[in-house]
Each structure stands twice: as C-alpha cells, then as structure tokens.
Amino acid sequence: MTDENLADAFNEGNAPFAKLMGVTMTLASKERLEAQLIVTPDHCTIPATLHGGAIMAFADNMGGCGAVLNMPEGCMTTTIESKTNFLRAIPVGQTAKAVTTPVNLGRTLQVWKTEIFRADGKLAAVVTQTQLIKKL
C-alpha cells in the first residue's frame, strides 16, 4: 500500500465489529492512524462513560489496521498481546479520538501504541499491543 491517506478505504472495508462500534478512520498511513468514536449509551458502563472493553476494542482495531498497512502481501495478522492503562473516563456524548503509531515493525511481530483522547484533549487510555504477522 502507498503512503497516501487510506482512511476512506478502511471506513469502507473495516472489520464488521469496528463498523458496529461506529469507528470512523480519519487518517491511515504506515506511520500513523487516527480515528474517532462518538460515545453512545450502547458503549457505556455505569456511570455513563466509555466501557473499558470498548476502549480496548477501539485500540485493537487500530493496531490491526496499522499492521495491515505494514505487512507483506500474502500475509495476515492477529493480536497476540494487548495491555491497557486507563487514565480518565470518557463521558457519553463525547468523541473519543485514537492516535496509533508503530513502536516496532518486525518481520513477524509488530508492536503498536494507541493513545485514546477525550474531547478536551486529555489522555484517557494508552494501549500497547503486539501483532503477529504470518503468511496465509
């Protein structure tokens, strides 16, 4: 894939679960991905804030998309490890923003960091995940 912004391509062909969640990619390149998620009541825990599992799923999708952009043709990827630090809540009605960057792009393992921000720009979570790359 080229270095152009492939956000529209990901929005059209994104994973069904990411579409169900309402993830909208705004930037997709080999070096950086950005997306947003409008927090609805369906995404929330009690009190009405973005559920930790939704944060993790949002970040997992982002890291997987980054891996797809950086793996050789004829390969697939899967998450083999993920770690999340929850720092602040994101209330219902706000838009969560994800920024994903590579930490390491190895031949068979890639490590990605996703930072999730609240509408006020404050960091809400940091997710580090490892993607396995293997031939189909």
Q: Identify the pLDDT of residue 43.
A: 98
Separation of first and last alpha carbons in the chain? 18
CB-based burial label for 109 (10 Å; 0-12, 13-18, 19+) = middle
Written as one string, the DSSP assignment of 59-108 is: HHHHHHHHHHHHSPTTEEEEEEEEEEEE-S--BTTSEEEEEEEEEEE-SS
Match 């969560």 to its residue by tokens.
96
Give the domain ranges of the chain.
7-135
Q: Identify the pLDDT of residue 3.
A: 55
Answer yes or no: CATH 3.10.129.10 is held by domain 7-135. Answer: yes
How many angstroms separate the CA atoms of 85 and 23, rounded?
20
How do the pLDDT tens digits run along the chain, 136 residues long? Answer: 445 789 999 999 989 999 999 999 999 999 999 999 999 999 999 999 999 999 999 999 999 999 999 999 999 999 999 999 999 999 999 999 999 999 999 999 999 999 999 999 999 999 999 999 999 9
Q: Which amino acid would we find at residue 15?
A: A
R_g over Cα of the chain: 14
Q: Identify the pLDDT of residue 69.
A: 97
In sequence order, the β-bridge partners of residue 44 are 50
Q: Identify the pLDDT of residue 1.
A: 45
Residue count of the chain, please give it. Answer: 136
